[in-house]
Amino acid sequence: MKDLVVGQEVLLFGVGFLDGKVVSVVPSIAVQTNEIGLLQFDEDGRETDACRYIRLGGVLHGPGPEWEPWEIVATTPEESTARRRTHDLLNLEALISNVLTQLETEDVEFAKTHARLALEVVNSMHH
């Protein structure tokens, strides 16, 4: 994360992906997002506990993934595309597995729902 510069676009991962823009690199890395606002990161690209404390309303631990820290996972457009594509493929694999399991248990309607979601993932990968 030492090569980040103000104005650079980055990809964050936490509960899904977020696009952000670096607005500060000293004393810590600050990234502005449209969805959450300003996030602070340490030198390893992990959201600081102080930032999480504010974002989560004064509590650092909870029952779901939204309690986990955001991380900077890509710093170039090529890395961002590769990360998103890998994530889409993993989702697609899980959806297909669910469809097969549901067909084996004869839960056809649920299988159809997951099949439609799988098609949405495939279609999104073409764009």
List pLDDT tens digits, range 57-107: 887 777 777 788 889 988 888 888 888 888 777 777 777 887 888 888 888
Encode pLDDT of 29-69 as tens digits.
999 999 999 999 999 999 998 998 888 888 777 777 778 88
Q: Which of 101, 94, 87 is nearest to 117 (CA)?
A: 94
Cβ pair 70, 12 in contact under 8 A: yes
Q: Are residues 67 and 120 in the same domain?
A: no
Pair (88, 56) in one structural domain = no
In a shared domain, residues 50 and 20: yes
Domain of 18 in residue numbering reads as 9-75
Asked if the structure places residue 118 within a domain, the reply is: yes
Total domains, the chain: 2
Residue 35 lies in a domain: yes
In a domain, 1, yes or no: no
Residue 103: both structure tokens together:
């067909």
Q: Are residues 62 and 15 in the same domain?
A: yes
Task: Look at residue 92 and tell me if it is in a domain.
Answer: yes
